[in-house]
Amino acid sequence: MRQKGLYYMLMMLSALLAVLAVGPGWYGGDFQGGFNFQHQLFDLLCHQNPDRSFQLQGVQMAVCSRCLGIYLSFFLGVLLMAPLSIFSKKFKTFVKPAFFTILILNFLDVISNEAGIWTNSLFSRFWLGALVGLGAALLLSNEFFSTNSKSENNYGE
Amino acid sequence: MENDQLNGATPSYWNSVLIAGIITAIVYSALGILSSYMMLKSSSASQALGIFVCLISSMAGVIANRHYAKEFDISYSLGKGALIGFLAAIVAVIVGTVISLIWTTVIDPGLNDAVYQAQISAMEAQGMSQEQIDMALSFSPEPGSTTAVLMGVGIGILGLGIVNVISGIISAKIFASEE
């Protein structure tokens, strides 16, 4: 494993985002008219539209379903980076184009839904978002778990 | 990786950080202000606008890293990408706060109060009792007050900071990796 410090930081930050994104519902907290800490934290990052967000124990989550998919799957992807790196190594040339394809798919989903071409749902947005998070983790996995390249710490030795 | 260090002098990333921070701040402030006016007019376009701006604030880390990597044609570590993303987020929050303050104190001093009233109306429309509304408002400082501004900056730096550290790492991998 390389860049241990950065990997653990990434794991902690993605865990924090995943927990906060779920909102105050999981511990029985109140929505507080959207003034709770979690909703304030994601205010600049997500539209937090009630119609496009999941609820937990009757409380709206702090982010929309697509963003929830991104945060949860990225955290899961960071946890599973070791096995993901095997896949990433095997399909090295496809990982970056696949990530961009996923981003374009999400963009097309937003555009086509707004244009009335097709109607997406809470779950379709969640799963498309989840692909972004997993794709990002897959993209980064060989930076931390690749075994056939020199460690950055030993670079030049 | 770390071509920059191998060549001796490391070019400064501050130019890229400032450019990305300012661009992001202008975009999200403009969209935020526009969204506020649309909300006051109860326009459904406000919601549509919101859907398009989802995660746009994470662009600070992407723009900063892309600019830095392409400007100097260098590769560098993911950690440095994270730092650049974080600094760009801080710049974005500070510049965005200044833009919002200028707008709500000089250009349209009544906007904060109007948005506050609209939020109360929205809570009433959701069926919340007066007691619940008072309770909810007690968690929020008066709009435009020093406490509200400082809280906004603090929460903004925390939220945008974390997300842009991650977008910075991903961008460094895409734009500044030797692969």
**How many A-B residue pairs are in contact by the CB < 8 A criterion?**
107
Task: Please name the amino acid found at residue A18.
Answer: A
Q: Are B81 and B7 in contact (CB under 8 A)?
A: no
Rounded to 5°, the CA angle B135-B140-B145 comes to 140
Give domain status of residue A86, yes or no: yes
Which of A79-88, A118-127, B119-128, B154-163 has the least mean pLDDT?
B119-128
Give domain status of residue A9, yes or no: yes
Give domain status of residue A12, yes or no: yes
Give domain status of residue A152, yes or no: no
Q: What is the pLDDT of residue B128?
A: 77
Closest by CA position to A77, among listed A7, A19, A30 = A7
Tokens 């990982």: give the residue.
A95
Residue A75 CA to residue B177 CA, distance in Å, equals 22
Q: What is the pLDDT of residue A36?
A: 86
Give domain status of residue A150, yes or no: no
Q: Which residues of B touch A (CB under 8 A)?
A: 1-2, 6, 28, 47-48, 50-55, 57-58, 77-79, 82, 93, 96, 119, 123, 128, 132-133, 135-137, 139-140, 151, 155-156, 158-160, 162-163, 165-166, 169-170, 173-174, 177
Tokens coding B170? 């991903």
What pLDDT tens digit does each residue of chain B (179 aa) get? 455 555 567 899 999 999 999 999 999 898 888 888 887 876 555 566 666 667 788 999 999 999 999 999 999 999 999 999 999 999 999 999 999 999 999 999 888 888 888 878 877 877 778 887 887 777 777 777 888 889 989 999 999 999 999 999 999 999 998 76
The Cα of A6 is separated from the nearest Cα of chain B by a number of Å equal to 7
For residue A132, pLDDT over 50 is answered with yes
Tokens coding A153? 């710490």
Residue B173's contacts (CB-CB under 8 Å, 6 or more residues apart) are A139, A140, A143, B78, B81
Would the CB atoms of A33 and B6 count as touching at under 8 Å? no
Closest by CA position to B34, among listed B90, B111, B97, B142 = B111
Residue A123 CA to residue A157 CA, distance in Å, equals 50
Residue A148 CA to residue A88 CA, distance in Å, equals 13
Give domain status of residue A115, yes or no: yes
For residue A48, pLDDT over 50 is answered with yes
What are the tens digits of pLDDT across the range A11-21? 999 999 999 99
Residues from chain B contacting residue A46 (CB–CB below 8 Å)? 54-55
Give domain status of residue A151, yes or no: no
The Cα of B15 is separated from the nearest Cα of chain A by a number of Å equal to 24
Closest by CA position to B32, among listed B100, B88, B91, B116 = B100
Would the CB atoms of B162 and A16 count as touching at under 8 Å? yes
Average pLDDT over all residues of chain A: 88
Residues A99, A108, B47, B149: what is their CA dihedral angle, to the nearest 10 degrees? 30
Q: What is the pLDDT of residue B35?
A: 82
Q: At B127, is the secondary structure helix, strand, or coil?
A: coil
pLDDT band at A151 (very low <50, low <70, confident <90, very high): very low
Q: What is the pLDDT of residue A136?
A: 95
The total number of structural domains in chain A stands at 1
| Beta-ladder partners of A59 | A56
Give domain status of residue A134, yes or no: yes
CB-CB: which of B47, B79, B133 is closest to A6?
Answer: B79
Q: The domain containing residue A107 runs over which residues?
A: 4-144
Would the CB atoms of B166 and A10 count as touching at under 8 Å? yes
